[in-house]
Amino acid sequence: MNLLNLPYEKYKLSSGLEIILFQNNTLPFTAVNIWYKAGSANEVKGKTGLAHLFEHMMFQGSKNVPKEMHFKYIQEAGGTLNASTSFDRTNYFEKIPSNDLELALWLESDRMGFFLEALDQVKLDNQKSVVLNERLERYDNQPYGLAWEKLIANLYPENHPYNWPTIGHYNDIESYTLDDVRSFFQQYYSPANATIVIAGNFEVDKIKSLIEKYFGEIKNNSTPTAINSKPFQLNQNKFLLFEDKVNLERIYIAWHSQSAFGPDDAALDILSDLLTGSKNARLTKKLVYELELVQDVNTMQFSGKYGGHFMIVATAKPDKSLEEIKKIILNEISILAEETISTRELERSKIVIKSNFIYSLQNIDTIADTLNLYNFYLGQPNSFNFDLNRYNSVSDEDIKRIVKKYFQTCFVELRIVPEGKNAN
Amino acid sequence: MQIDRKSRPLSSGRINFNVPSIQTFELNNGLKIYFIEKKELPLIRINFLVKNGSRFDPQNLKGLTNLLSMCLDEGAGKYDALQLADEFEILGAQFSISSDPDITVLSLQVLQENFIPALSLLGSVVTEPHLKESDFQREKRKVLARFEQVKSEPDYIAEVSFEYFLFGSESPYAYPVIGIEPTVQNIQIELIRNLYQKKFFPFNSFVVVVGNIDSKSLQSELNSIFSNWKVVSTIEEPLINLKKSQRKIFIINKKDAVQTEIRTGHLSSKRSEKDYFQKQIMNLVLGGQFTSRLNLNLREKNGYTYGIHSNFNYFKEAGSFEVSTSVDVENTVNALREIYSEINKIKDGITEDELTFSKASLTKRFPANFETYRQIASNISSKIINNLSEDYFETYIERVNSVTLNDVNKIAFESIRPSELMIVLVGDSNKIIGQITNDEFGEIVVLDFEDVFKK
């Protein structure tokens, strides 16, 4: 599809910093999006959450930018900004009126090159306290908020990089020192470990010389340590039961699946849509409409660089049994291993996916981040059509095959029940 | 090459941006259409708005409007509930219905190539929903189960309790849009059908369309689908009963909660072009963005919270001022004291620098508010819902720039009233009460969430 073919230019500075340019001068603004190849997978036990701490520390100022001023400069220029951390990477992004694009380059380069000069204990203590509160607000004090970390801790082996949550464990967050921050920065925040996407309104020659001006002199520190991830599998089903401050019981079932853009990754996404992507999806129709056993049911193919899992989550209606819900879920899945799904079902998923590709082009920040994502996982930023074709080429036979391959193996089952309701 | 990194690089040149122009037209039956042609992508977005919100729900039937919204697309025209969903999905269309206190919105996003069949489905939902007993009962059971679920959501509890105590049980804005358990129990299918008959007709609705289609074809498509839609009726406006809020602190007990949800605020005036921008600028300084006084104090200096915000909330017939955050239990009252201190300080006014920052931020960001089809549609919708002036968007930048320091400071002094601040805390009352000195925040009321709506 022509619309999904995005012309771009990719090159490297002598430091190894990778640059991707995508021009669209019909917009009056420009997106700047940086991926550092540093996520929670790069952490060590005892210091979990350190990659995410950077998402905070990087806004605490650098040699030439005082604390708080990063936000202030961008907002005063009419820009928006944020950052996020996942298992595999941390991204930093702003969208800014194009006449202030240089401002964004100045800010991003100052923290890439001169962050450590401005680091101090007061800033670290303050942001540790903020992150602890973030953890309390988003996980510990949320109903079902600890389910994800309990699940991955049991699904991935102890030494696997996806064994702990991105936010980090409470005690680990409390333990960070200035040395921890310095050494993580030196290992992972080097130019050669980052890719910058500039998308939107700019002049090509001018942007290239500005990028050289601001980033050219930034030297590499050390080379990041490679992640060591061994193949693994579950040898038996695991059953976990936890009490939480909730009123409705919830069940999670998870199987190991495929890594991002791995052989069956797209087919597993389609399977997820077939199961719970719409009112007519198999599990939704059965459990929400026909039997009214659940309040909600969702599935997802989670996939990263070093592995993936397929997860089903269902919240029981009051007084409905998780045991029965589980039985129906497993039964619906086993049906898919035997019966061929209808052409219309498969077609419906593919049309929804194709439409979503086009809807996502409305936003220049989304485009910039997707270019970085494709570049990170596939080495080729302009992979929109390639990605869409991954979905288009999934057949009904593929669905049958992946159900047999991934779902007739061992799984982790987690149940979260109201306090006082029979957990140990 | 040695470069000067010491100071901020200068901006280069100016941005060109024109507000997209709105075309309006009316169908024979009085249905008004607001249209913006946008051709970058092959897609079309529609917001179909009906002037019906939860504030119209009778006292004993709170949640009625929400349930009607939930039932509308559970079967319409030729299709039952699941068939209808299937028809939308096979077109790759995103369709949803939602209600707030003032308005119900049916929104549709679809590729240009599937626009006509998708519009026809939307037409069925609006003009010939089935509203069948069995679908209604299922949706009602969903809402009742939802009431069980929200009992464990601290932020939900804080928000709905704050609005209830702020507006007072007599006010139509006091209750959550989904209602409360006893009133939803009272709702029957006949009431849903009556509400539909009463509210869904052309004069009580309007349509916003943004997309890749020409005006002529759009008019003819809309005509063919909606021109036979006629119901004659009048709308009764409910009485809006607003009392001054009281200086009081409600602690909704959640034993062993590791954080406390905080909401504090008071009633405020309705949205008016006389003071809207002044209030917006003051709020940016106080708690409306990352470098606001509240966030710099509570997050960046004291580390009490992950984030704190203040807002002027505008409903059609009422308004409120609200500060919201969540903090670790031990610092609940320390945080409240800092919030109060910032609220008191803002009454003394903002600085010239703060004014410059706020104006620059609002005006320079303005073009980015028109990036997506969704943003444009919701901007136009909001202009109509709030009866904003015809040239609101065209004069936006000019108007923001014309606000003076005196204007803002006058509004800060008048519109922030510390003596009326009411507080809702959701957290472990045993660990909180000891932190409070005497009546520093007014009378203390401790209660369970179950008892909130009995007060």
**A308 Cβ contact list (under 8 Å, min separation 6):** A256, A257, A258, A259, A260, A262, A265, A268, A301, A302
Q: pLDDT band at residue A367, thresholds of 50, 70 and 90?
A: very high
CA separation, residue A347 to residues A305, B228, B267 (Å): 29, 34, 52
A332 near A324, Cβ under 8 Å?
no
Contacts of B42 in chain A (CB under 8 A): 3, 358
Shortest alpha-carbon distance between residue B40 and chain A (Å):
9
On whether both B149 and B285 belong to a single domain, the answer is no
CA separation, residue A362 to residues A355, A366, B113 (Å): 12, 8, 17
Q: How far apart are CA B28 and CA B426, in angstroms?
A: 52
E-strand ranges in A45-89 read 80-85
User: Under an 8 A CB cutoff, do A141 and B305 touch?
Assistant: no
On whether both B103 and B52 belong to a single domain, the answer is yes
pTM equals 0.96
Cβ atoms < 10 Å from Cβ of B328: 21
Q: What is the 3-state secondary structure (H, E, C) of A89-116?
A: CEEEEEEEEHHHHHHHHHHHHHHHHCCH
Host domain of residue A197? 7-215
On whether both A243 and A388 belong to a single domain, the answer is yes
On whether both B437 and B304 belong to a single domain, the answer is yes
Report if residue B145 sits inside a domain: yes
- The residue of chain B nearest to residue A31, with distances taken between CA atoms, is B368
Out of A182, A215, A248, a domain closes at A215
Copy the structure tokens of residue B48. Answer: 């179909």
B100 near B53, Cβ under 8 Å?
yes
Least confidently predicted of A34-43, A196-205, B225-234, B281-290: B225-234
Report if residue A1 sits inside a domain: no
Report if residue B234 sits inside a domain: no
Where does residue A45 rank: exposed (0-12), middle (13-18), buried (19+ CB within 10 A)? exposed
Does residue A283 sit in helix, strand or coil? Answer: helix
On whether both A201 and A250 belong to a single domain, the answer is no
Report if residue A223 sits inside a domain: no
Q: What is the rounded radius of gyration, in angstroms, for the C-alpha atoms of chain B?
A: 24
Surface of A (207-246) touching B: CB under 8 A: 213-214, 216-217, 245-246
Copy the structure tokens of residue A286. Answer: 């059965």
On whether both B262 and B301 belong to a single domain, the answer is yes
On whether both B48 and B164 belong to a single domain, the answer is yes
CA separation, residue B82 to residues A287, B37, B91 (Å): 13, 33, 15
Say if A72 is an interface residue toward chain B (CB within 8 Å).
yes
B136 near B192, Cβ under 8 Å?
yes
Out of A78, A356, A359, the one facing B361 most closely (by C-beta) is: A78
Query: What does the pLDDT average to over A83-100?
Result: 98
Shortest alpha-carbon distance between residue A245 and chain B (Å):
6
- Phi, psi dihedral angles at B444 (to 5 degrees): -100, 130
Residue B257: predicted pLDDT:
96
Out of A130, A213, A280, the one facing B299 most closely (by C-beta) is: A130
Say if B146 is an interface residue toward chain A (CB within 8 Å).
yes
On whether both A209 and A344 belong to a single domain, the answer is no
Say if A136 is an interface residue toward chain B (CB within 8 Å).
yes
Say if B14 is an interface residue toward chain A (CB within 8 Å).
yes
- Phi, psi dihedral angles at A51 (to 5 degrees): -60, -45
- The residue of chain A nearest to residue B296, with distances taken between CA atoms, is A68
Shortest alpha-carbon distance between residue B92 and chain A (Å):
4
Instruction: Express each pLDDT in A276-313 by its tens digit.
Output: 999 999 999 999 999 999 999 999 999 999 999 999 99
User: Under an 8 A CB cutoff, do A141 and B141 touch?
Assistant: no
On whether both A245 and A328 belong to a single domain, the answer is yes
Shortest alpha-carbon distance between residue A50 and chain B (Å):
17
Say if B379 is an interface residue toward chain A (CB within 8 Å).
no
On whether both A206 and A328 belong to a single domain, the answer is no
Out of B167, B195, B226, a domain closes at B226
Say if B315 is an interface residue toward chain A (CB within 8 Å).
no
**Based on the structure, what is the number of domains in chain A?**
2
Out of B43, B138, B327, the one facing A359 most closely (by C-beta) is: B43
Copy the structure tokens of residue B16. Answer: 């060109």
On whether both A80 and A164 belong to a single domain, the answer is yes
Report if residue A355 sits inside a domain: yes
User: What is the rounded end-to-end Cα distance, in angstroms, of chain B?
Assistant: 71
CA separation, residue B303 to residues A129, A135, A251 (Å): 5, 13, 35
On whether both B431 and B313 belong to a single domain, the answer is yes
DSSP A243-264: EES-SS-EEEEEEE---TT-TT
On whether both B335 and B221 belong to a single domain, the answer is no
Report if residue B232 sits inside a domain: no
Residue B64: predicted pLDDT:
98
Output the domain CATH number for residue B285: 3.30.830.10
Alpha helices of B200-244 — where are they, by DSSP H?
215-226
On whether both A258 and A151 belong to a single domain, the answer is no
Does residue B34 sit in helix, strand or coil? Answer: strand
User: Under an 8 A CB cutoff, do B373 and A358 touch?
Assistant: no
On whether both B326 and B449 belong to a single domain, the answer is yes
For residue B219, give the amino acid letter.
Q
On whether both B442 and B366 belong to a single domain, the answer is yes
Q: How far apart are CA B209 and CA A370, in angstroms?
A: 28
Surface of B (179-238) touching A: CB under 8 A: none
Percent of chain A with pLDDT over 70: 99
Report if residue A155 sits inside a domain: yes
Report if residue A154 sits inside a domain: yes
Copy the structure tokens of residue B366. Answer: 């303005």
Say if A362 is an interface residue toward chain B (CB within 8 Å).
yes
Say if B134 is an interface residue toward chain A (CB within 8 Å).
no
Residue A164: predicted pLDDT:
98
Report if residue B336 sits inside a domain: yes
Say if A94 is an interface residue toward chain B (CB within 8 Å).
no
On whether both A58 and A127 belong to a single domain, the answer is yes
Q: How far apart are CA B286 and CA B354, in angstroms?
A: 10
Q: pLDDT band at residue A224, thresholds of 50, 70 and 90?
A: confident
Residue A424: predicted pLDDT:
43
Residues of chain B with pLDDT under 50: none
On whether both B88 and B167 belong to a single domain, the answer is yes
Closest by Cα among B357, B353, B161 to B253: B161
Q: How far apart are CA A159 and CA B334, in angstroms?
A: 41
A185 near A116, Cβ under 8 Å?
yes
Q: What is the rounded radius of gyration, in angstroms, for the C-alpha atoms of chain A?
A: 23
A10 near A79, Cβ under 8 Å?
no
Chain B interface, mutation test: which of A362, A363, A388, most B Cβ atoms within 10 Å? A362
On whether both A135 and A248 belong to a single domain, the answer is no
Out of B6, B148, B299, the one facing A318 most closely (by C-beta) is: B148
Alpha helices of A136-237 — where are they, by DSSP H?
147-155, 170-175, 178-188, 204-215
Q: Kindly indicate whether the ipTM for this predicted assembly is greater than 0.90, answering yes or no.
A: yes
Report if residue B276 sits inside a domain: yes
Q: Tell me the longest C-alpha to C-alpha distance in chain A.
A: 67
Out of A71, A131, A246, the one facing B152 most closely (by C-beta) is: A246
Residues constituting chain A: 424
For residue B262, give the amino acid letter.
I
Copy the structure tokens of residue B374. Answer: 């969704």
Where does residue B243 rank: exposed (0-12), middle (13-18), buried (19+ CB within 10 A)? exposed
Out of A183, A215, A247, a domain closes at A215
Report if residue A230 sits inside a domain: no
Output the domain CATH number for residue A378: 3.30.830.10
Say if B42 is an interface residue toward chain A (CB within 8 Å).
yes
Report if residue B384 sits inside a domain: yes
Report if residue A359 sits inside a domain: yes
Q: Are strands B422-427 and B248-253 parallel, antiparallel or unpaired?
A: parallel
Out of A78, A98, A359, the one facing B109 most closely (by C-beta) is: A359
Say if A321 is an interface residue toward chain B (CB within 8 Å).
no
Shortest alpha-carbon distance between residue B171 and chain A (Å):
29
On whether both A244 and A322 belong to a single domain, the answer is yes
**Based on the structure, what is the number of domains in chain B?**
2
Residue A169: predicted pLDDT:
98
CA separation, residue B30 to residues A371, B190, B198 (Å): 46, 27, 16
* pLDDT surpasses 90 at A268: yes
Say if A46 is an interface residue toward chain B (CB within 8 Å).
no
B361 near A74, Cβ under 8 Å?
no
Surface of A (151-210) touching B: CB under 8 A: none
On whether both B205 and B286 belong to a single domain, the answer is no
On whether both B191 and B291 belong to a single domain, the answer is no
Cβ atoms < 10 Å from Cβ of A354: 17
Say if A346 is an interface residue toward chain B (CB within 8 Å).
no
Copy the structure tokens of residue A210. Answer: 């500005």
Report if residue B13 sits inside a domain: no
Report if residue A228 sits inside a domain: no
Host domain of residue B204? 23-226
Q: How far apart are CA B118 and CA B44, in angstroms?
A: 10
Copy the structure tokens of residue A190. Answer: 């080097």
Q: How far apart are CA B321 and CA B423, in angstroms?
A: 12
A22 near A367, Cβ under 8 Å?
yes
Residue B233: predicted pLDDT:
66
- Cβ pairs bridging A and B (under 8 Å): 204
E-strand ranges in A51-89 read 80-85
Out of A133, A213, A247, the one facing B328 most closely (by C-beta) is: A133
Closest by Cα among A295, A245, A294 to A144: A245
